[in-house]
Amino acid sequence: MNLKEEGASLDFPGFTCRYYDDLKEKLHEMTNHRQCFKPIPRLIEELNRHLEGWKNYFDFGYLRVAFGEINTYIRYRLTQHLRRRGQRPFRPPEGVSYYEQIQRFGLVRL
């Protein structure tokens, strides 16, 4: 059975498994150019709420690889978002990488 086919699912007692590729789309939407007006702490809070909800829902089994891909993707998207903010893009303090600054902002890690 190919779970990537539209409408395909696999049922177990208490669980329904199906392919769901919407997380990256939602993260992309949350960090797109239309969100540049939003204060960084509020954006991080919204991202954290979404990521933690997703993690709690899908935290059955061994998802280390999938969580790693999502961590990498959201940090890349957030870095791009910070670089394009307004006329004066955000720059981390001297000697601090974007990755380190994003950690300081409090973004959760799956």
Predicted TM-score (pTM) of the model is 0.71
Task: In whole angstroms, give the CA distance from residue 73 to residue 77.
Answer: 6
Q: What pLDDT digit, counting tens, does each position of 23-57 carry?
A: 788 889 999 888 888 888 999 999 999 898 888 87
39 or 59: whose pLDDT is higher? 39
85 or 97: whose pLDDT is higher? 97
The answer to whether 28 touches 50, Cβ cutoff 8 Å, is: no
Task: In whole angstroms, give the CA distance from residue 40 to residue 15.
Answer: 37
Q: Which amino acid is at 3?
A: L
pLDDT (0 to 100) of residue 4: 63
Spell out the residues 6+ positions from residue 71 whose beta carbon is closer than 8 angstroms to its own: 109, 110
Query: What value does the mean pLDDT take over residues 14-23?
Result: 67
The residue extents of the domains of the chain are 21-105
